Amino acid sequence: MSFETIQGVVLGKAALEGVRSAYAPGEKGNIDSVLSAELIEPFLNGAVKLLPEPHFFFMELPCTEDEEKELRRSDRDPLHYKVYYLDGCTASVTEAIIKRYGQLLINDGLTRFGFGSNASNEEIYVLDYQQIQVYAEDDRFASVYKKLGVPETDSVKTVWENFSKENVGVSMAVEIEGENCGCIVENLTPEGMYLAETRAFGE
């Protein structure tokens, strides 16, 4: 099975060497995984159904150049990102967010995002380069991977392991039908989305 990359990344063959869709169960119900692009939305649709209500939705967006000028004192300082939350979502609201914005969120190479439960604090976290981590109280989320035909393994390989000075990846923002991920924040702010904090990369 080929491994398809999202629109917002550029990776050479060397960066993808040995990378495949797979999931690795960890402690309790925690799972580390890497998924081919076409599997991410079906996975999210299945996984959020297993989260107890109410849900929360979160996004991590990189700061703008002007914002970094205020935050960084020197070129050696880390870059920053803003963390936005939308709390108290019903299951139908979560499903509507995925339907409306799923492809934009998934394909943007600079945005990390996820969904969780305000009731159980379980969380589904979509990171860079198609890595997805599940933090759960039991192993029920493994069923979603199995239904999609994703193989189980002892540990997953990510593109980070293949990167070197000669072999790097490029991540970029994308637009779909005239919208970018900043538009999601603008559209959901009237519904209660808020800026929770600004973090430095690596924190």
Q: Running along the chain, 203 residues long, what does each successive block of 10 average in pLDDT?
A: 90 89 95 98 98 97 84 84 96 98 97 97 96 96 98 95 84 94 96 93 69
Q: Give the CA diameter of the chain.
A: 49
Query: Which tokens sit at 174?
Result: 């994308």
Model pTM?
A: 0.93
- Please list, in sequence order, all residues whose beta carbon lies within 8 angstroms of the beta carbon of residue 116, skipping any fewer than 6 positions away: 51, 55, 56, 58, 122, 123, 124
